[in-house]
Amino acid sequence: MSATGLAVPEQPAAPVRADKASAAEWMAVTAGSLGSFMASLDISIVNSSLPTIQGEIGASASEGTWVATAYLVAEIVIIPLTGWFERMLGLRRFLLGAAILFTGFSVMCGMAGDLTTMIIGRVGQGLTGGAMIPTAMIIIATRLPPRQQPIGTAAFGSTVLVAPILGPILGGWLTENFSWHYAFFINVPICAVLVALLMLGLRPARANLAEIFEADWAGVLGMILGLGALTVVLEEGHREQWYESSLITNLTLVSLLGFVLIGWGQFRAKRPVIHLRILRKPDFAGIVVMSFVGGMVLLSLPYITPQFLVAVAGYNPFQAGQVVLIFGVPPLILMPMVPLMLPHVNIRWATAGGFAFVAAGCFINSRLSPDTAGPQFVWPQLIMGGGMLIAMAMLNQASITSGGAKDAADASGLFNASRNLGGAFGLAILATMRDHQLDVHQWEIFSTLSANDIDLQSRLSAAANALGGGQEGLTAAYRMLETRVAHDALVMAFADNFFLMGAATVLILPLTLLLQPLPDDFEMSLH
- pLDDT for 194-214, tens place per residue? 888 888 877 877 777 777 777
Give the angle 246-233-86 at the CA atoms, nearest 5°.
Answer: 135
In this model, does residue 30 exceed pLDDT 50? yes
Q: Are 173 and 24 in contact (CB under 8 A)?
A: no
Q: Are 387 and 361 in contact (CB under 8 A)?
A: yes
pLDDT at residue number 201: 79
Considering the chain, what percentage of its residues have pLDDT values greater than 70?
A: 86
pLDDT at residue number 405: 63
424: left (phi over 0), alpha (psi -120 to 50) or beta: alpha
C-beta contacts of 303-307 below 8 A and 24+ residues apart = 303/427, 304/430, 304/494, 304/497, 304/498, 305/365, 305/377, 305/381, 306/168, 307/494
Under the banding of pLDDT at 50, 70 and 90, the label for residue 61 is low
79-93, 254-268, 384-398: the lowest-pLDDT one: 79-93
- Tell me: the pLDDT tens digits for 118-166? 888 988 998 898 888 877 777 877 777 777 777 777 777 777 777 877 8
Sequence-separated (6 or more) residues with CB below 8 Å from residue 328: 161, 162, 165, 166, 385
Distances (CA, A) of 174 to 51, 117, 183, 365, 515: 14, 21, 6, 30, 42
240-254, 391-405, 415-429: the lowest-pLDDT one: 391-405
Could you give phi then psi for residue 465, rounded to 5 degrees?
Answer: -65, -40
Mean pLDDT across 102-121: 89
The residue with greater pLDDT, 381 or 311, is: 381
pLDDT at residue number 501: 92
Give the angle 19-23-26 at the CA atoms, nearest 5°.
Answer: 85
105-114, 222-231, 252-261, 355-364: the lowest-pLDDT one: 222-231
What's this model's pTM, rounded to 2 decimal places? 0.77
**Burial environment of residue 371 by CB neighbours within 10 A (0 to 12, 13 to 18, 19 or more):** exposed
Neighbouring C-beta atoms of residue 456, cutoff 10 Å: 13
314: left (phi over 0), alpha (psi -120 to 50) or beta: left
Under the banding of pLDDT at 50, 70 and 90, the label for residue 10 is very low
Under the banding of pLDDT at 50, 70 and 90, the label for residue 3 is very low
Mean pLDDT rounded to a whole number for the chain: 80
Considering the chain, what percentage of its residues have pLDDT values greater than 90?
A: 13
In this model, does residue 478 exceed pLDDT 70? no
C-alpha closest to that of 281 among 477, 23, 516: 516
* CA torsion, ordered 280, 418, 259, 257, to nearest 10 deg: 170
351-355, 379-383, 420-424: the lowest-pLDDT one: 420-424
In this model, does residue 56 exceed pLDDT 60? yes
The dihedral sign for the CA sequence 405, 411, 417, 423: negative
Q: Are 394 and 347 in contact (CB under 8 A)?
A: yes
C-alpha closest to that of 329 among 166, 462, 153: 166
pLDDT at residue number 339: 75
pLDDT at residue number 27: 84
Q: What is the DSSP track for 259-303?
A: HHHHHHHHHH-SS-SS-GGGGGSHHHHHHHHHHHHHHHHHHHHHH
Mean pLDDT across 302-322: 81
Calpha distance 247→240 (Å, rounded): 8
Residue 526 DSSP symbol:
-
Residue 57 DSSP symbol:
H
